[in-house]
């Protein structure tokens, strides 16, 4: 049973292992991404149902452009499918009070994807219960660079002074402005690193790692991560 009194307010998930999952089965890497997209839908819905208010899924990093073009094209098509499906299920999303946010530099994405993402954000319910951040063309260092440039521009224009550039000001210049930092970050697939994910926001995050490849990740695995989180003592530098 999940300890709902100690649920994290914000869970970050690095969806890793799609390619290896496919390779183990003699399938193209693209099939791993298709299966991974299904797991994304399952976990986001389940997390909302049990009361997690914020989720951030690492879908496509700034480094992922180095992959083969065919694989990139399939990932973009899956993103399109997700956006079209969400558009068609708008009434259901409103009933569930899902809010979708897309974080990262979307300016380099295909125009139709940008338009769909913009439409979805504009049609989010006013009183959302669960915010789902989808990180696309996202990198933690890129996000910080963007935030610093934004603040520098505001200082140069006279809107801010140098003492105004505080930790809170930086946090408000990030893509996740107005949201709590992630309490828990989950990374399946046997890797033990952040990979440029939520670099600023993860300063006091708890981490949960497993050898499970993302396409095999289940709601039971998510429960185990939450149970482990509930047992931890978070002191934030105190005693």
How many angstroms separate the CA atoms of 119 and 27, rounded?
Answer: 34
Catalytic residue among 3, 16, 77, 105: 16
Catalytic residue among 3, 18, 49, 64: 64
| Helix and strand element counts for the chain (H, E) | 8, 6
Q: Which helix (H) or strand (E) holds 56?
A: strand 54-61
16 catalytic per annotation: yes
228 catalytic per annotation: no
Burial readout 39-59 (b: 16 or more C-beta within 10 A, e: otherwise): bbeebbeebbeeebbbbbbbb
Q: Strands, DSSP E only, in 128-175?
A: 130-138
Task: Look at the block and give the residue holding tokens 């005693």.
Answer: 239
Report, as residue numbers or ranges, the catalytic residues. 16, 64
């Amino acid at each position: 049973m999940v300890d709902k009194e100690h649920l994290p307010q914000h869970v970050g998930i690095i969806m890793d292992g799609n390619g290896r999952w496919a390779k183990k089965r003699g399938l193209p890497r693209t099939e791993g991404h298709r299966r991974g997209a299904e797991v994304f839908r399952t976990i986001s819905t389940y997390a909302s149902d049990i009361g997690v208010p914020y989720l951030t899924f690492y879908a496509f990093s700034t480094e992922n452009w180095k992959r083969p073009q065919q694989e990139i094209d399939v990932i973009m098509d899956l993103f399109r499918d997700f956006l079209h499906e969400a558009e068609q299920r708008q009434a259901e999303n409103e009933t569930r009070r899902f809010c979708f946010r897309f974080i990262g530099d979307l300016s380099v994405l295909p125009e139709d994807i940008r338009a769909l993402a913009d439409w979805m954000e504009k049609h989010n319910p006013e009183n959302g219960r669960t915010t789902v951040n989808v990180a696309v063309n996202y990198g933690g260092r890129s996000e910080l660079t963007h935030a610093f440039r934004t603040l520098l521009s505001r200082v140069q224009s006279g809107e801010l002074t140098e003492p105004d550039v505080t930790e809170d000001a930086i946090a408000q210049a990030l893509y996740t402005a107005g949201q709590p930092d992630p309490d828990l970050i989950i990374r399946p697939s046997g890797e033990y690193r952040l990979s440029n994910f939520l670099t600023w926001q993860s300063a006091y995050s708890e981490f949960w790692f497993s050898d499970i490849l993302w396409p095999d990740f289940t709601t039971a695995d998510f429960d185990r991560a939450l149970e482990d989180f509930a047992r931890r003592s978070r002191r934030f530098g105190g005693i």
